Amino acid sequence: MDRPLLFEIVITNGCNKRCPYCDINFERGFIKNEVVDNFIKSIRNYDGELGGIHINFFGGEPLLGKQHIDHVLKSLEEIKTKITYSLVTNGWLIDDFIIERIYKYDIKVDISIDTINNDVLKENKHIKEIASREKTSVNYIFVPGQMSNIEETAAVMNGIGFENINIIPVYTTMSWNNENIKILAKKINQFIKISKSKNIGYFKYDRGFSRERQFILDVGGEIYQDVDSDIRLQKQYNIIPEFLKKKVENEMYLGNINYQNLNEIICGYDESVIYNLLKEFELEIGKQKEYKKIDKIIDYFSIMTKAKDR
């Protein structure tokens, strides 16, 4: 098992916010204690045989279940295997407790902000304490028809001192059209002119393999194989046809941590299954002309930003 493993742990499908573009099934609740305990036990059982582990705490809003995050962090402190952590959060629940653990365990933090509302940046003063860290990033999500506060948000981010910002047009909606795609280009241009961030990155709806073998641990203990683009989590998005959603759910499932040992589950990892699903995803997304236009915009600004940095 010398190839690195990446586990995306879904702490909860619940969330303290209701972003209109988010299709998470909020009714599935929190990860069960036995799931967390069985996962920790499994990692310990194979300590020394693993080629490195990365754990990403995900949701919903994972900080709603910060006691589970803390349990994982403390329980894996003494293992020999190199282990790293990351967290994807909307930022509202970052507090002294979380700040302490971010620094103690060197957790990479991605704070998701959208172009609808930037209140969390103004109201949660704890965010400023981690903003300038190399391992803190803002995922700035551009929502079609909701991009009027770009200049204000850029100014707020400058004041907080974020060094790393990722621009992400929301790909989970079909409401992009020629008019708001033109606005997207204008608003991205305005943002990068105002922003003082040293590192501005861009997200495209790319598909590809990571060096790690990636898995999702869901709230009920179900483990799915996956890739960096979270193909399985995106099965709910309305840009994906129903037949492909069902296929993803069935073919990505590997087992359940409550009833099987970790080695047995991850040995079922099959890149050919992922590769074939990726091809089908690309075929379906390729039918959406709007997304091709968005990708061209992202390519343009990515090249422009790199040229500016030279």
pLDDT of residue 226: 79
pLDDT reported for residue 272: 82
* Cα–Cα distance measured from residue 254 to residue 46, given in angstroms and rounded to the nearest whole number: 18
pLDDT at 235: 46
Structure confidence by residue, pLDDT tens digits, 223-277: 998 765 455 545 445 556 677 777 777 788 999 999 998 888 988 888 788 778 7
Give the predicted TM-score (pTM) of the model. 0.90
Task: State pLDDT tens for residues 53-78.
Answer: 999 999 889 999 999 999 999 999 98
- Which pLDDT tens digit goes with each residue over 272-298? 887 787 777 777 766 777 878 888 898
Mean of the per-residue pLDDT values for the chain? 85
At residue 110 the predicted structure's pLDDT band, cuts being 50, 70 and 90, is very high
Question: Per residue in 136-164, pLDDT tens?
Answer: 999 999 999 999 999 999 999 999 999 99
pLDDT digits (tens, 9 = 90+) for 17-48: 888 777 666 666 899 899 999 999 998 887 76
The answer, yes or no, to whether residue 211 has pLDDT greater than 70, is no
Q: Which domains does the chain have, with CATH numbers?
A: 5-309 (3.20.20.70)
Region of poorest pLDDT, from 2-6, 132-136, 251-255: 2-6
